[in-house]
Amino acid sequence: MKTRFIILLLLLISLSFFAQTTIEYSSTIMDDNGVPMSNVTVRVRGTGETVLTDNSGEFTVKAKAGDVLIISKDGKRINTVTLNNSNFYQIENEAEKADFRSKSTRKTKQPSVNQLIDSAHFYKNTNPEKSIGFIESSLSLVGKSRKNNQQLSEVYTILGDVYLNLKQYDLAVSNYETALNFVNSNSLKFKLAKAYTLNNNFIESTEMYQELLKDDTISTQQKIVIYEGLGDNSSQKLNELDEAIEHYEKGLEIARQHDIRPKVTELNSKIGETYSQKGEQQVAEGYLQETLKLSENEDVKSRAVSNNSIADYYRDNKEYDKEIKLRKETLKELEDEKAKKNDTVSKPIISSQKLNFDIGNAYLNKGDLGEAVPYLEKSIIEADAEDDLETQKDALQRLSELYRAAGKSDKALEKYQEYAKLVDVIYQQKEQEIKDAVVLGKELTNKQNRINSLEKDRELSESRYDFFSSQKQLTQETYKRQRLIIYSLAGGLLLLILSLFWMYKSNKQRRLANNLLALKSLRSQMNPHFIFNALNSVNSFVSQNDERAANRYLTDFSKLMRSVLDNSEQDFIPLSKEIELLELYIKLEHSRFTDKFDYTITIDKKLEVSEFQIPPMLLQPYVENAVWHGLRYKKEKGCLQINIQQKDNETVEIIITDDGIGRAKSKELKTQYQQKQKSQGMDNIKKRIIILNEMYSDRLDVIITDLNKDTSGTEVVLTLKKN
């Protein structure tokens, strides 16, 4: 059956408008009986412009002559009409071809930005889509003016409020952040912190509250809100419940000092609930009892909210007698208040049908079936009168279960059948709500996308305006000073090049000087270290009264020291000299520890040692480590092998191998002081290699590994490049 819709067009358009001018058209959509139709979608084909009719069936859409308007309801297309130049709307549906003449004039007066913002603020709670429409219109106007940060902040704040009411917290956060970019306002920060919490961004919310707490200008009430917000964030994590209580108590202390009773009651309740989460029920009940006393001085509605929260606590802890008593008191107070107001009181936050259901449910949990029946029955009657289907459904279900438990099968079946019918009705309602939510979501998404596009266009327009203004001014100045600018640029460029060259050269020289100084410092640190160890060896011979051995040792030691000092100022010496130094040093160490190790030095016959350069005293510390920290602690006689071989024409490889106790075991045997000394010596070698590689293009590479799985034995592989 086709439904015929009458489109009553009430448009104000000038008689002299042009065919391609985009204007705003307003209309009213009614059914056959002349009843206005709300939530009808009107979309302009090709532009994405989409609006919904309000409760009066009215809509306003931006379009121009020749545009096609698509009208649909609940996702189903009703009609398609075209705006003609003759001020007629032509129905394109073949089954209903007709022409409807409309009175039309052009809107000559456009509302101001502030008027649009006020309208958006007025509708943000009652009609979010209409509010967003006003926001979109205001943004299109704001973008045409400059220095309008205050208006832009107000617009995006209202948009954040709209999405917060719609529980789309991510979009609320995004728009509050945008508003805060335009105006740094504490009130905005409070809203953003709350939105962060609702969007589960607890870290960001906590950071925002802590930032606000540092501001000396915030009021006492705001401080309480901050501590309450910090407590709410901490209470989301079980491991931060103590922090939550601490924050709540700080807020509670301020509220008590300034006698802000509603906050005292609320924070007491939250502290009690948090202690309950911790499992400290006695402490929790103490706070909740205090909340009950405090709520006695509040109005009926506030007291009902507090009582209901505490009753829920009693229910969760299976204290049904306390729960029933408290809910009955709340129910009586609400009914008395309603009677005093002669039924003109606004709808209470906690309904009587819900309280009756909770009382009946508590009796059921307690096992008192007889007492539960009248309350559940009364809940069903009241819920039916108030069209509270959810409470009615729950009461019917519990009543059916009660009759079944009591053995009254007929009544149980009767109540269950009523329950099943109600479930079907609720399901249909939910299904319709989901459809409506999907349609609304799409509409809001489209509007949000258009708003984002408008913001980008606004930013682009301002950028272009700034660019063209500066470009015009620059052109005027350039014409007069063109030659001066060219010469200045040329001179500046030349000066820049010279400066860069000088800086590069200076930095290079400074870096080289720093590296040389560092090398010299490291070498100066190594020489005393080496001399100290050698003199320890002489002292060992003297302490043994071995004068001849000491004399021989000192003779060889003096030769070694002369060579070391001769080479100490050079970055590199021939490999042949380093080998001579190494042989002399090993000879000295072997003369002291003859019973501890034997050694061999093998040099590749093909290797031309004189062609390779090596930093002086580079190999000695590794050999010293092998003897003093590996072989010296070995019970049986060990072996030290030094193998020098040529890998290729440009590379020589020096391998120092010992079968000592290994690095790990040696470290265990040393004192803390010895470990520190060893670490400093090897650290100097590492630093020398790093600096030399930086100066001479990676000529050195050292790898130290353990030879065996039990970490005994050590191998040092040093790779040296020719150039």
Q: What does the pLDDT read at residue 656?
A: 93
pLDDT at 548: 76
Phi and psi angles of residue 73, each rounded to the nearest 5 degrees, phi first: -135, 125
pLDDT on residue 639: 93
Mean pLDDT, range 631-652, rounded to an integer: 88
Q: What angle do CA 511, 516, 519 make, to 5 degrees?
A: 125
Q: List the domains of the chain with CATH numbers.
A: 6-101 (2.60.40), 522-721 (3.30.565.10)
Q: How many C-beta neighbours within 10 Å does residue 181 have?
A: 12
Is a pLDDT exceeding 80 seen at residue 410? Answer: yes
The DSSP code for 206 is H
**What pLDDT is attached to residue 463?**
52
Helix (H) / strand (E) element for 603: namely strand 597-603
What values do phi and psi take at 65, rounded to 5? -55, 135
The predicted model gives 75-80 an average pLDDT of 71
CA distance 89 to 79: 12
As a whole number, mean pLDDT of residues 555-572 equals: 76
Arithmetic mean of pLDDT over the chain: 75
Mean pLDDT of 117-128: 82
DSSP 3-state of 326: helix
Higher pLDDT, 656 or 549: 656
pTM here is 0.44
Alpha helices of 281-408 — where are they, by DSSP H? Answer: 281-295, 300-316, 320-340, 352-366, 369-385, 389-405
Q: Which pLDDT score, from 0 to 100, does residue 716 have?
A: 92
Burial of 501 (0-12, 13-18, 19+ CB in 10 A): exposed
How far is the C-alpha of 55 from the C-alpha of 676, rounded, in Å? Answer: 84
At which residue do the structure tokens 């600018």 appear?
485
pLDDT tier, 249 (very low <50, low <70, confident <90, very high otherwise): confident
Alpha helices (runs of H) in 96-148, residue ranges in sequence order:
113-123, 128-142
DSSP 10: B
Average pLDDT of span 245-266: 85
Q: What is the pLDDT of residue 573?
A: 84
Residue 308 structure tokens: 């209901």
Higher pLDDT, 390 or 528: 390
Q: What is the average per-residue pLDDT within 452-464?
A: 54
> pLDDT: is 348 or 571 the higher one?
571
Q: What is the pLDDT of residue 97?
A: 34
At 694 the pLDDT is: 76
In this predicted model, what pLDDT tens digit does every residue of 3-20 receive, in sequence order? 333 333 333 333 333 334
- The answer on pLDDT for 32 being more than 80 is no
With 0-12 CB in 10 A as exposed, 13-18 as middle and 19+ as buried, what is 27?
Answer: buried
Query: How is the beta sheet containing 597-603 ordered, strand by strand?
Result: 597-603, 638-648, 651-658, 714-721, 700-706
The Cα–Cα gap between 663 and 660 comes to: 9
Q: Is the pLDDT of residue 259 over 90?
A: no
pLDDT higher than 80, residue 537: no
Residue 227 has pLDDT above 80, yes or no: yes
Radius of gyration of the chain (CA): 45
Q: Tell me the average pLDDT across 28-47.
A: 73
pLDDT band at 75 (very low <50, low <70, confident <90, very high): low
Give the percent of the chain with pLDDT over 90.
Answer: 4
Distances in whole angstroms, Cα of residue 677 to Cα of each of 525, 625, 630, 667, 680: 12, 12, 16, 12, 5
How does residue 235 score in pLDDT terms, banded at 50, 70 and 90? Answer: confident
Q: How confident is the model at residue 106 (pLDDT cuts 50, 70, 90)?
A: very low
Q: Name 471's Cβ contacts closer than 8 Å, sequence gap at least 6.
A: none
Closest CA to 191 of 168, 203, 208, 210: 208
Look at residue 642 in the predicted model and tell me its pLDDT. Answer: 93
**Location of structure tokens 């438990």:** 405
Q: What spatial distance separates the first Cα and last Cα of the chain, rounded to whole Å?
A: 96
Dist CA 656 CA 193 (whole Å) = 65
